[in-house]
Amino acid sequence: MKYKIMKYTITFFTVAMVAFCFAVDAKPEEKPNVILMMCDDLGWGDTGFNGNKIIKTPHLDRMAEEGAVLSHFYSVGPVCSPTRASFLTGRHYYRLGVWTANVGHLPKEEYTIARMMKANGYTTGHFGKWHVGTLSKTMSPKGEKRKPAVNYAPPWERDYDSSFVTESAVRTWDPAEGKRAKNNPYYENGIVAADNLKGCDSRVLMDRAIPFVQNAVKEDKPFVAVIWFHAPHEDIQAGPEYLKMYEGHGEAAHYYGCITAVDDQVGRLRAELEKLGIADNTALFFCSDNGPEGKEPKDRSKTRRAGSAGDFSGRKRSLLDGGVRVPALALWPNHVAPGSMVDTPMSVLDYLPTVSAMTGAKLLDQRVLDGENILPILVGDKQLHSKSIPFRYGKYAGLVHGKFKLIIESPTDPSNDRLFNLAEDKTESKNVIQEHPEKVQKMRAEILAFLTSAQKSHSGGEYQGNGFLPVDSWKALGAETGRGKKKSAQ
């Protein structure tokens, strides 16, 4: 597959068109539709457009050919819930108290993509996994420890007009069955769903997403749809037709098959956009929420944890790039140049400000954002991401600035700090901290400043009114682990 490197030049005509399309007072019929798709535990190396020679992803590959491959894109969170909180808000999950999976929830005070777009005249929908709060006040698949009443934050109370969601992961085939289905039903607009839950889960959720799109077109309303596939998260099971595609691959056939099933549904969605006549006015984004589950397999045929992080070190739960650098695409006809390869570091934090710029939706002046509008990069107007990308998980905090990543363990003790030149060291195996003392000093100071700002946000410092109480106390860097000498960011 051939791509051309994005050229960061722009003609006067393009500038004029972009300015016209993004005008705040644009007519409703001129506003682009937006579809934001994400897989669960899909590794950087698990798609054809990133070089996988086994897994069939023809529809995603076509998206890559017609839009841009974002080859240096971060989920920010190395596990599910944190990434999802940042995805919807443009704010680091530590500001919200979503430290890890199944912890905390999306505060009602947050200004999300859904809230922003509703205020801009859009109809809003969310389909698939939710995982940023419980969907019932009395039960959770994670039990009482999830504090279902305290963490109740369903999409129908978070500015979505339509939703079809589960609280957490389900089996990728017959999602209403199996151990993950216990206390974890699909809710359709707040009501437990009972029909059309057999077979491929990616098809089941797309069966609800497509009618949402059809109804929006029928009502002549612009829409934003968030589609979060469960695949290829465990429990991993592919249907018979997909297993047949991967005969000879043993247990890995289930992993490969459920990714191809996602790809089929992406193709189905795009075909519907064409049929409805809105494909040229619809922007699509695609990514994963973190790296692949489990250790690097010695023999993929013997495991369903067959994901690939490509050439990168680390996997899910790691701040090394294999845990947080994910496959990503951006497609917006007549705006993003077909076949572009964008190597600028960017992340899910950038979705909200970018959607704002695309649609004219207003941001909140008083709300701190950690992402930035990447539209000028996507359309070729500029090359650099001016904001650094922050990370925080377990005992580690980190920062990507340009092509350098710094990982630290302590706010005061720099002895375990590691600096990697990502342009020269994909595996993050060479600590170049001694070669760049000034850069380390600046990046370390930026990390600590971010954590101070995040702690203020976590306390509710940016929310209007009084009475906000965070669910959990602030998780200070170094507080959990002391001065351990462990060198891995796993």
What is the spatial distance between Cα 455 and Cα 439, in angstroms, rounded to a whole number?
A: 24
pLDDT digits (tens, 9 = 90+) for 347-377: 999 999 999 999 999 999 989 999 999 999 9
pLDDT digits (tens, 9 = 90+) for 128-153: 999 999 999 999 999 999 999 999 99
Taking all residues of the chain, what is their mean pLDDT, rounded to a whole number? 93
Given a contact cutoff of 8 angstroms between Cβ atoms, the answer to whether 351 and 36 are in contact is: yes
What is the spatial distance between Cα 262 and Cα 338, in angstroms, rounded to a whole number?
A: 22
Q: What is the pLDDT of residue 99?
A: 98
Q: What is the pLDDT of residue 1?
A: 54
What is the spatial distance between Cα 133 and Cα 147, in angstroms, rounded to a whole number?
A: 10
Q: What is the pLDDT of residue 479?
A: 64
Given a contact cutoff of 8 angstroms between Cβ atoms, the answer to whether 338 and 66 are in contact is: yes
In the predicted model, is pLDDT for residue 63 greater than 70?
yes
Q: What is the pLDDT of residue 288?
A: 99
Q: What is the pLDDT of residue 489?
A: 52
Q: What is the pLDDT of residue 239?
A: 98
The whole-number average pLDDT for the span 226-239 is 98
Q: Which H or E run contains 420?
A: strand 418-421
In the predicted model, is pLDDT for residue 205 greater than 80?
yes
Q: What is the pLDDT of residue 4?
A: 46
**pTM for this prediction:** 0.93
In the predicted model, is pLDDT for residue 302 greater than 80?
yes
Q: What is the pLDDT of residue 478?
A: 87
**How far lies 304's CA from each of 161, 234, 241, 250, 313, in Å?**
36, 9, 17, 9, 20
Q: What is the pLDDT of residue 464?
A: 78
Count the Cβ atoms, other than its own, within 10 Å of residue 435: 11
Sheet holding 4-5, edge to edge: 4-5, 340-342, 68-70, 329-331, 282-288, 33-39, 223-228, 123-129, 162-166, 187-188, 191-192
Q: What is the pLDDT of residue 46?
A: 98
The whole-number average pLDDT for the span 413-440 is 98
Q: What is the pLDDT of residue 298?
A: 96
The whole-number average pLDDT for the span 13-37 is 58
**How far lies 118's CA from each of 87, 112, 124, 362, in Å?**
17, 10, 7, 11
In the predicted model, is pLDDT for residue 19 greater than 60?
no
Q: What is the pLDDT of residue 322?
A: 98
In the predicted model, is pLDDT for residue 293 greater than 60?
yes
What is the spatial distance between Cα 151 and Cα 254, in angstroms, rounded to a whole number?
A: 33
Residues present in the chain in total: 490
In the predicted model, is pLDDT for residue 26 greater than 50?
no
Given a contact cutoff of 8 angstroms between Cβ atoms, the answer to whether 342 and 70 are in contact is: yes
- Amino acid of residue 181: A
